Amino acid sequence: MTSMLVSEYDRFVERTDQSTDLPPKVRMEIALYGVASEIGSVISAVKKRLLANVGQSAWNVPDADIIEELGDVVWYCFALVRQANPGKLVNIFAHDIGQLKDELGANSKRAERLRQVLDPTKRAQFLEAAEHFPRRRDLRFEDYQDLAFLTARTNDRELAEVCLVVLQQLGAELLRQSLPEIERELNTTLPDRPMNDLLGEIAWHVAALSSLYELRMSDIVAANVAKISDRWDRSARTPLHDEGFPKKERFPRRFQVEFMSAGPGRSRMMLEGAQLGDDLTDNAYHDDGYRFHDVMHLANVAKLGWSPVLRSLMARKRKSDPEVDEVEDGARARIVEEAVVKAIHAEGVRLATVRAVGATGPVQLFPGSGDISFSFLKGIRALVTDLEVAKNRLSEWEAAILDGYAVFHQLRLFGAGVVTVDMNERTITFQQPTAI
């Protein structure tokens, strides 16, 4: 497989940066805190591996968390170098190789000490290769990773521990950039160093950890590209899961469901003049609107092409394939979907609690993507492992949550209304009830 060029990944980071509409100062803060927080996540992931009761010989076997967190650090480093060098194209890898070369060739006690501790053969290899380090457009992640690792002063587990300690320090040095001038003047424990130097050193230690875990940085960034695209690439659509089945076993590609009051605190769904499912109450000690939660099943149909609950209520089970009927459309799948809907609702209520202070009416759950973390979406996907909906992208799950709860909020406000599902357009919309 062809390794990704550094320039290709740089363009990917630029394309997937969600902060482009914000002021430069805010973007800088987001990138700064992003690098520092992801460094903390790397330290946590690696430390768990180092301290796990798996024996000394297995400490350097990577897990998915280590790969993911290393990739996240790289993404934020690329985002931050753009913010720190507006209008310039700065390659932190080339910058770091240049810094290392200058440091080794300097006339200082530190440089002399570095020359003493480095393996002479590796030092010579590094200095020779550094003279001809690839230009930006040709640079691959392995070019930097392999060359930088020649300058490692320790090895194995000891080097892993060094990387964690130094990364923590570098994260603190980065955050120092955001301190007020008076605090930087009075707090001198850490030095003030150029941002590019810090990012280059962070890159070195990320690359060193990758090498210790026998990971190629191109594989790490490829996993990062897949992860971020899964969440933010909204152009790709998962094919509808019931495509190819007989028409009577497919969801209607466009339909409307009316939500109407069936008495105080009681909601009823109507489809083409017939009741759909049972009347629902909140089944709670207080009014939280959960009687309208069936709209989230409708959102699942619209955005994911999936809802074993509605498939059963609408008599659209895929009986022509007994295995699909049992696994995808059966009782277990319906229980899983209800658990997913309840888990999402519980998270929305938890997050809305802060916003609810002083509110006089219903507070909207999930008003924006900022309420939906990667870890939350991954947790939801984990609940549907081995079901067809596991193929859906995180962006589609996010859309189901955001658009579904936008309609849920309207139902709470009006108490009734018509919900339109269009599976071809992947939309769910709300229409206010007609006044009598």
What confidence score (pLDDT) does residue 60 get? 85
Task: Read off the pLDDT band of 55 (50, 70, 90).
Answer: low
Residue 1 has pLDDT above 70, yes or no: no
Mark whether 417 and 388 lie in a shared domain: yes
Q: Quick one: 265 and 197 in the same domain?
A: no
Residues 370 and 253 in one domain: yes
Closest to 210 measured CA to CA, from 254, 155, 275, 145: 145
- Note whether 287 and 401 are same-domain residues: yes
Q: Is residue 166 part of a domain?
A: yes
**Is residue 226, in this structure, part of any structural domain at all?**
yes
Report if residue 418 sits inside a domain: yes
Q: What is the pLDDT of residue 54?
A: 59
CB 308 within 8 A of CB 337: yes
Joined together, the tokens standing for residue 359 give 């509110």
If DSSP codes are grouped into helix, strand and coil, which group holds residue 417? strand
Distance CA 238, CA 390 (A): 10
Say how far apart CA 257 and CA 331 lie, in whole Å: 23
Instruction: List phi, psi (to 5°) of 274.
Output: -115, 145
Q: Which of 232, 263, 298 is the last residue of a domain?
A: 232
Digit-coded pLDDT (tens) for 21-51: 999 999 999 999 999 999 999 999 999 988 8
Number of domains in the chain: 2
Number of Cβ within a 10 Å radius of residue 26: 12
Secondary structure string (H, E, C) spanning 170-195: HHHHHHHCCCCHHHHHHCCCCCCCCH
The tokens describing 236, both together, are: 């790709």
Give per-residue pLDDT as tens, 377-427.
999 999 999 999 999 999 999 999 999 999 999 999 999 999 999 999 999
> Is 193 within a domain?
yes
Q: Are residues 286 and 180 in the same domain?
A: no
Q: Do 271 and 207 share a structural domain?
A: no
Structure tokens that stand for 309 in this block: 């609950």
> How high is the mean pLDDT of the chain?
93
Q: Under DSSP, is residue 423 helix (H, G, I), strand (E, B) or coil?
A: coil
pLDDT of residue 238: 97
HSE of 320 in the Cβ direction (CA atoms, 13 Å)?
9
The reply to whether 348 falls in a domain is: yes
106: tokens are 């300097």
Check residue 58 and give its pLDDT: 79
pLDDT recorded at residue 409: 96
Confidence of residue 347 (pLDDT cuts 50, 70, 90): very high
What distance in Å separates the CA atoms of residue 47 and residue 245, rounded to the nearest whole number? 49
Tens digit of each residue's pLDDT (9 = 90 or more) over 106-125: 899 999 999 999 999 999 99
Pair (336, 301) in one structural domain: yes
Domain that holds residue 173: 6-232
